[in-house]
C-alpha cells in the first residue's frame, strides 16, 4: 500500500479572488484528481478535472493513477471512491455533506428488514452508505439501473429510493420489494407549479430525473439520469426545457447547449428545495483546506469495504457487458 502524502505546512486561506489558482497549485503539489458531481456549485465544477454523475465518477476515480482524490459531492460518493481504491487518499471538502436517501436507510435497520425477504436479490441504489452496500448483492445508478435489473431475476429487494423503484417497475413491468426512502430535492417539486410553467411556456419540454415523484414523471417528455438529461438537452432538436432535478446540472447544460432556454422546475412554494443543501455545503474554501490538510479523509472499515466492493464490482461488470451470476454469499 502506498504511503500517505505528507501534509503541507499550515498556510493562510487565500483571498476569494485567488482561490481558484491556489486550489490548482495545491492540486499539482498533491498530484491530486478533483472530481465533482453535476450538482456542485459552478465554481467547483469549473475547477474539477472531471464532472459527472455517480457512475461516471466511480469509474473515473478507479481508473485514475493519482494518489489523492478530492471528491466534491456527498459522503456516499467519496465512500464509493475509497471502497474501489483503498490505496488512495480520498478527501472531501465537508464531511457533513450527506444525502437524505443514505441517511434514511441506516444499515442496522436495513439488515433487520432484509431478514423478512430471504432468497431475494438485494439491488441498492448507489445513494446509500458503505454499510448498506455491504449488505447488497448489486449496486445500481440511475443511469445503469434499468440495464442491470434486466439481468437480475425476481424476487428483488430495491433500496433506498421508492420513486426510482416505481419508475423502474413501470419500465420493466415488474414488482420489487421496496425500501420507502426519498430524495429531499426530487420529492418536493410542485406538480401544480410545473404545470403552470408548462402552460406559460408551451414549447418547453419537461425533462426529469427518475428520483422525482411519479406525478411529476407522468408529465415528463424525457426521464433519465443527470448524464442522460444533459445528453438529451444537448442533442435534442427542441430549444426550450424545464429541468426537474437539482439545479446544479443547469451549469453544464448551459455550457453544452448555450443557445437553449433552460428553466429550473419549481419546488413547493416557500421552498428552495431544487437546491440540494448537502451538495452546497462544499465550497472553494473547504476544497482548498481539504487539499492543504488532506482532511477530512474518508475511511471505511476493511470488512465493510470488501463486502461493499463486491456489490460495486458487480455493477461495474454488468455495465461493461458481463452476465449476472446470482449469490455473492450475502448472509
Question: Are 167 and 314 in the same domain?
Answer: yes
CA-to-CA dists, residue 118 to 5, 86, 111, 125, 297, angstroms? 45, 31, 11, 19, 36
Cell of residue 203, nine digits: 414549447
In this structure, the strands spanning 68-72 and 32-37 are parallel
pLDDT at 30: 97
| CB-CB contact of 253 with 247 (8 Å) | no
> pLDDT (tens digit, 0 to 9) for every residue of the chain, 331 residues total?
555 566 655 567 776 679 999 999 999 999 999 999 999 999 999 999 999 998 799 889 999 999 999 999 999 999 999 999 999 999 999 999 989 999 999 999 999 999 999 999 999 999 999 999 999 999 999 999 999 999 999 999 999 999 999 999 999 999 999 999 998 888 889 899 999 999 999 999 999 999 999 999 999 999 999 999 999 999 999 999 999 999 999 999 999 999 999 999 998 766 555 788 889 899 999 999 999 999 999 999 999 999 999 999 999 999 887 777 665 444 4
11 within some domain: no
Question: Are 171 and 314 in the same domain?
Answer: yes
Query: pLDDT tens-digit profile of 180-219?
Result: 999 888 888 989 999 999 999 999 999 999 999 999 999 9
Question: Are 159 and 220 in the same domain?
Answer: no
Q: In what order do the strands lie in the sheet with 177-178?
A: 138-140, 121-125, 156-159, 177-178
pTM, 2 dp: 0.90
* Domain CATH for 194: 3.40.50.10800
| CB-CB contact of 177 with 117 (8 Å) | yes
64 within some domain: yes
Question: Are 243 and 264 in the same domain?
Answer: yes
Question: Are 257 and 285 in the same domain?
Answer: no
CA-to-CA dists, residue 10 to 164, 285, 289, 291, angstroms? 45, 14, 10, 11
Q: Is 327 left (phi over 0), alpha (psi -120 to 50) or beta?
A: left
Closest by CA position to 294, among listed 9, 74, 75, 1: 9
pLDDT at 328: 45
7 within some domain: no
Average pLDDT, the chain: 92
Question: Are 288 and 311 in the same domain?
Answer: no
Question: Residue holding cell 448524464?
Answer: 227
Q: Which helix (H) or strand (E) holds 52?
A: strand 50-52
Question: Are 163 and 220 in the same domain?
Answer: no
Domain count, the chain: 3
Cell of residue 224, nine digits: 433519465
Question: Are 70 and 147 in the same domain?
Answer: no
The span from the first CA to the last CA of the chain, in angstroms, equals 30
38 within some domain: yes
Query: pLDDT tens-digit profile of 22-49?
Result: 999 999 999 999 999 999 999 999 999 9
5 within some domain: no
Give me the domain span that covers residue 234.
186-275
Amino acid at each position: 500500500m502506498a504511503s500517505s502524502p505528507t501534509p503541507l505546512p499550515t498556510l493562510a486561506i487565500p483571498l476569494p479572488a485567488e482561490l481558484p489558482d491556489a486550489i490548482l497549485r495545491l492540486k499539482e503539489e498533491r498530484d491530486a484528481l478533483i472530481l465533482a458531481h453535476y450538482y456542485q456549485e459552478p465554481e467547483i465544477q469549473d475547477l474539477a478535472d472531471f464532472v459527472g454523475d455517480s457512475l461516471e465518477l466511480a469509474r473515473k476515480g478507479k481508473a485514475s493513477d493519482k494518489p489523492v482524490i478530492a471528491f466534491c459531492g456527498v459522503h456516499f460518493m467519496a465512500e464509493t471512491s475509497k471502497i474501489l481504491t483503498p490505496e488512495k487518499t480520498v478527501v472531501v471538502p465537508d464531511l457533513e455533506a450527506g444525502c437524505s436517501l443514505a441517511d434514511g436507510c441506516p444499515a442496522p435497520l436495513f439488515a433487520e428488514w432484509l431478514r423478512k425477504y430471504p432468497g431475494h436479490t438485494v439491488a441498492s441504489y448507489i445513494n446509500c452508505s458503505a454499510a448498506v452496500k455491504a449488505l447488497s448483492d448489486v449496486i445500481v445508478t440511475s443511469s445503469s439501473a434499468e440495464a442491470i435489473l434486466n439481468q437480475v431475476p425476481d424476487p428483488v429487494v430495491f433500496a433506498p429510493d421508492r420513486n426510482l423503484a416505481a419508475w423502474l417497475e413501470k419500465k420493466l413491468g415488474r414488482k420489487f420489494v421496496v425500501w420507502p426512502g426519498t430524495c429531499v430535492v426530487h420529492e418536493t417539486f410542485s406538480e401544480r407549479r410545473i404545470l403552470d410553467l408548462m402552460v406559460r411556456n408551451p414549447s418547453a419540454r419537461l425533462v426529469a430525473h427518475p428520483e422525482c415523484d411519479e406525478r411529476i414523471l407522468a408529465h415528463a417528455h424525457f426521464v433519465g439520469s443527470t448524464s442522460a438529461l444533459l445528453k438529451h438537452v444537448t442533442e435534442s432538436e427542441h430549444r426550450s426545457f424545464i429541468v426537474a432535478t437539482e439545479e446544479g446540472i443547469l451549469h453544464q447544460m448551459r455550457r453544452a447547449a448555450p443557445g437553449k432556454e433552460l428553466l429550473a422546475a419549481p419546488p413547493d412554494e416557500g421552498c428552495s428545495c431544487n437546491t440540494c443543501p448537502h451538495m452546497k455545503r462544499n465550497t472553494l474554501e473547504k476544497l482548498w483546506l481539504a487539499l492543504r490538510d488532506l482532511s477530512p479523509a474518508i475511511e471505511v472499515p476493511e470488512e465493510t469495504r470488501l463486502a461493499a466492493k463486491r456489490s460495486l464490482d458487480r455493477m461495474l461488470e454488468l455495465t461493461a457487458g458481463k452476465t449476472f451470476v446470482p449469490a455473492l454469499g450475502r448472509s
